[in-house]
Amino acid sequence: MNSSLFKYSSSAALSVARKSKFQRSTLPVLQTRHASTMNNHNVPKLSDPSLLKLDVNFVNGEWVKAKSGKTFDVYDPTNSKVIGTAPDMDSADTELAIAAAATAFKSFKTWTGRERSKVLRKWYDLMVENQEDIATLITWENGKPLADARGEAAYAANFFEWFSEEAPRIYGDTIPASVPGNRVVTFKEPVGVCGLITPWNFPAAMITRKVGPALAAGCTVVCKAPSETPFTSLALAELAQRAGVPKGVVNVITAATNTPAVGKTICTSPTIKKVSFTGSTGVGKTLMSQSSSTLKKLSFELGGNSPFIVFDDADLTSAVAGAITSKFRSSGQTCVCANRIYVQAGIYDAFTSAFVDAVAKFQLGSGFEKGVTHGPVINAKAVAKVDEHVQDAISKGAKLLAGGQKLPELGANFYAPTILGGMNAEMKLANEETFGPVAGLFKFETEEEVIKLANASDVGLAGYFYSQDIQRVARVAEAMEVGMIGVNTGLISDPAAPFGGMKESGFGREGSKYGVGEYMVTKMVTHVKRAQSGSMKPQRNAPAPSPEGSGLPDGLPTHLAINFYPVMLVEAPGATKEPESGGASSHDNPSRGQ
């Protein structure tokens, strides 16, 4: 396909519409139907205005300002206008939140699983009742289309529903002991106060996916909301209060992007016993280093560079639809989005043509406008990174098949959905997470080749592949070095499924029954049963033999002597049996080990 035929053009004559639409003409030219959304961005009024919390954070059951009085601006990415301000909390503010969580933990950890379940279920019900307002806040501060935001609000609520059902089902074990007369049992306990640091790309779902299992386990939390999208998190805190979550159990604080002291305070505090973080690998390494001084429990979901593989035997229509969903959902700003699309040579041309046609149907603009499928990226820094990756690829031989430039007539944070063909492993897009609406197409020949390419990354969060060969499905799924795999689907997230990566994409799992375990510790108890009268077992007060040099204290009860070294000595095959009397014992030979 000739990349010179694909260009981006603006038509002022069609500026009456309130959205941007990419459409193929006689020549494959991508067009916009609107020159500006900046002045046509109508934010719906909230049904419950009290959900929008300006200038306050939620600490110890109260709405408080930063002690310093400082605030920071929160911007609408669609038009770059200020939505409102949020408190710029510092270390002292964070310490107060941690102290509140620590006090609350003393009583909350004693709640039964059923009691915790009821509170989570009530919180879920309130999220469902307020879904439209939550979605409005998400679109306003994140920019994703309202339909997507509604989906996120429902998805976020589902984590509370799921973990409300897990809370009463946290079980221990009874373990057969190796020592006669012993019983071993285990039970689970909440780890303690948890620090949660959440990202902006899913401002509702990322907090509920962490808070849900923490509360189900009996932990209390201090959540640092993202500076780009704090109002969604604060709205959820308001609903937590209404749901009857005790004061201090959930604390939500905010800080500007240039306030790293809050994250450091969370990681270095000896009171906080666990940190859960979702974000970049670089920041994750910093937080891990800061947490090392107190040896906290950690679960990190970090950067990705997801491969998306299309084999020759794939269903073409399904593969294109899956790639569109995985790559361009939320304008490419998901941690599991397809960053590298590998297409086998036999289907490459057909896939590329269908893929370009599908992208041509996108409509860009304000997420509140009807029919818009894609909104802006989050900020100017994100735009710059996307453009850097595109220009780098083109300079190294990639073919521009669609998009490839900023769209200032729509707004400062809009970038045309872009498709690049003829990609190679030397390009930045192949080695870095773009986090934007750019799809790079790589051609491959064999299964062995593409597995090697897919695994040639330091990160391993998610991967996808399309094939109708059942034997290949098993082979490739086992060979891919990622924590999550989608086979013939571009969507893999589910509250019931474990979410997390491997390699430098982090460790630990969120969602599912495994997600609760991340917030618990396992305690083991060994119980020695009292010997029954007349049994063959040693009597409790019978003195244990204490041969000279045995290392056992004189008069040690036999049942304790048995447990002092609970090792059974087995005669080696062919060994000469020592005489019953007159022979040297092992205690006479200090060179023999115990």
Residues 256-315: tens digit of each pLDDT: 988 899 999 999 999 999 999 999 999 999 999 999 999 999 999 999 999 999 999 999
The pLDDT score that the predictor gives to residue 529 is: 80
Does residue 15 carry a pLDDT above 60?
A: no
Secondary structure E strands in 225-286: 250-253, 272-278
Where are the domains positioned within the chain? Answer: 3-35+304-497, 55-302+512-520, 530-580
- Segment 495-510 shows an average pLDDT of 98
The pLDDT score that the predictor gives to residue 541 is: 53
Which pLDDT tens digit goes with each residue over 407-417? 999 999 999 99
Please provide residue 78's backbone torsions phi and psi, each rounded to the nearest 5 degrees: -70, -40
Does residue 96 carry a pLDDT above 60?
A: yes
Residue with structure tokens 């039970």?
A: 187
- Segment 532-561 shows an average pLDDT of 49
Band the pLDDT of 61: cuts 50, 70, 90: very high
Secondary structure E strands in 333-424: 338-344, 363-364, 399-402, 418-421
Does residue 568 carry a pLDDT above 50?
A: no
For 370, residues 6+ apart whose C-beta sits below 8 A from its C-beta are none
What is the C-alpha separation between 348 and 356, in angstroms, rounded?
12
Residue 400 backbone class (left: φ over 0; alpha: ψ -120 to 50; beta: rest): beta
Give the fold, CATH level 3, of 3-35+304-497: Aldehyde Dehydrogenase; Chain A, domain 2 (3.40.309)
CA-CA-CA-CA torsion for 152, 190, 220, 245, nearest 10 degrees?
A: 70
The pLDDT score that the predictor gives to residue 531 is: 54
The pLDDT score that the predictor gives to residue 258 is: 80
- Segment 510-521 shows an average pLDDT of 97
Does residue 159 carry a pLDDT above 60?
A: yes
Helix, strand, or coil (residue 262): helix
Helix, strand, or coil (residue 479): helix
Tokens of 130: 């307020």
| The CATH number of domain 55-302+512-520 is 3.30.420.40 | no
H helices of 58-204, in order, are: 91-108, 113-129, 131-142, 146-166
Does residue 36 carry a pLDDT above 50?
A: no
Does residue 572 carry a pLDDT above 80?
A: no
Give the Å distances, CA to CA, from 316 to 86, 346, 467. 47, 12, 10
Residue of 158, 282, 143 lying closest to 209 (CA atoms): 158
Q: Is 124 within 8 Å of 157 (Cβ atoms)? A: yes
Residue with structure tokens 């970038």?
A: 415
What is the C-alpha separation between 238 and 98, in angstroms, rounded?
19
Does residue 594 carry a pLDDT above 80?
A: no
Q: Per DSSP, what are the bridge partners of residue 477?
A: none
Q: Which residues are catalytic?
A: 301, 335
The pLDDT score that the predictor gives to residue 508 is: 98
CA angle, corner 486, sides to 484 and 489, nearest 5? 155
Q: Which stretch of 20-34, 295-309, 500-514 has the lowest confidence by average pLDDT?
A: 20-34
The pLDDT score that the predictor gives to residue 37 is: 52
The pLDDT score that the predictor gives to residue 26 is: 32
- Radius of gyration over every alpha carbon of the chain, rounded to an integer in angstroms: 30
The pLDDT score that the predictor gives to residue 553 is: 52
H/E stretch holding 87 reads strand 82-87
CA angle, corner 580, sides to 578 and 583, nearest 5? 55
Predicted model pTM: 0.85
The length of the chain is: 594
Q: Are strands 220-224 and 250-253 parallel, antiparallel or unpaired?
A: parallel
Number of Cβ within 10 Å of residue 566's Cβ equals 11
Band the pLDDT of 3: cuts 50, 70, 90: very low
Band the pLDDT of 40: cuts 50, 70, 90: low
Residue of 183, 182, 181 lying closest to 535 (CA atoms): 181
The pLDDT score that the predictor gives to residue 41 is: 74
Which pLDDT tens digit goes with each residue over 178-215? 999 899 999 999 999 999 999 999 999 999 999 999 99
The pLDDT score that the predictor gives to residue 464 is: 99
Number of Cβ within 10 Å of residue 67's Cβ equals 12
The pLDDT score that the predictor gives to residue 430 is: 98
What is the C-alpha separation between 393 and 401, in angstroms, rounded?
12
Q: Is the dihedral of CA 323, 200, 166, 118 positive or negative?
A: negative
Does residue 431 carry a pLDDT above 70?
A: yes
What is the C-alpha separation between 49 and 80, in angstroms, rounded?
22
- Segment 364-385 shows an average pLDDT of 97
Does residue 16 carry a pLDDT above 60?
A: no
When the pLDDT of each residue in the chain is averaged and rounded to a whole number, the result is: 88
Band the pLDDT of 27: cuts 50, 70, 90: very low
Does residue 532 carry a pLDDT above 70?
A: no
